[in-house]
């Protein structure tokens, strides 16, 4: 190219390359009787027990047999006995993007009788 010659390129001639649209990471939703319920980023090796660990484990009141995994891809609900998984009697469940894991509580609403017998309440002085 000789000095002083200008070269113009058309973007149309280069084929208007577009950046891919940003996508949100796939998530798993965990609700119910766990220490930290919420949305967790899906990873290909994420299983039910690994999700439990990420969430800080189940609460004391968590049901061990009534856990449900709702698959958004098939709208199927899978009933899980997590106690059997913990004991190695059943395989851990591989989670899928968009799954919702529901951990119900075994806790019952306290009756007035049970409230009177509780000793773990604290007193707040009123000035």
- Tell whether the model's pLDDT for residue 43 goes beyond 90: yes
Domain of 76 in residue numbering reads as: 27-99
Question: Is 37 a member of any domain?
Answer: yes
Query: Mean pLDDT across the stretch 62-82?
Result: 92
Question: Is 10 a member of any domain?
Answer: no
- Tell whether the model's pLDDT for residue 122 goes beyond 70: no
Question: Is 78 a member of any domain?
Answer: yes
Angle value at C-alpha 95, between 91 and 29, nearest 5 degrees: 130
The pLDDT value recorded for residue 76 is 93
What is the residue-averaged pLDDT of the chain?
A: 79
- Which is higher by pLDDT, 59 or 8? 59
CATH number of the domain enclosing 50: 3.10.560
The pLDDT value recorded for residue 107 is 73
- Tell whether the model's pLDDT for residue 56 goes beyond 90: yes
The pLDDT tens digits for 96-115 are: 999 999 999 987 655 454 44
- Tell whether the model's pLDDT for residue 123 goes beyond 70: no
- Per DSSP, the three-state class of 79 is strand
The pLDDT value recorded for residue 16 is 55
Question: Is 34 a member of any domain?
Answer: yes
Surface-to-core class of residue 30, CB atoms within 10 Å of its CB (0-12 exposed, 13-18 middle, 19+ buried)? buried
């Amino acid at each position: 190219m000789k000095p002083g010659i200008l070269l113009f390129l058309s973007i149309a001639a280069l084929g208007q390359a577009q950046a891919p649209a940003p996508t949100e990471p796939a998530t798993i939703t965990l609700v119910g009787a766990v220490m930290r319920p919420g949305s967790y980023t899906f990873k290909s090796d994420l299983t039910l027990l690994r999700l439990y660990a990420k969430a800080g484990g189940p609460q004391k009141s968590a049901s061990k047999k009534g856990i449900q995994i709702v698959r958004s891809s098939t709208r199927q609900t899978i009933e899980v006995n997590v106690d059997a998984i913990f004991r190695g009697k059943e395989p851990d469940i591989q989670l899928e993007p968009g799954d919702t894991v529901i951990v119900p509580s075994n806790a019952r609403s306290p009756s007035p009788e049970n409230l009177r017998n509780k000793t773990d309440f604290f007193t707040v002085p009123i000035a």
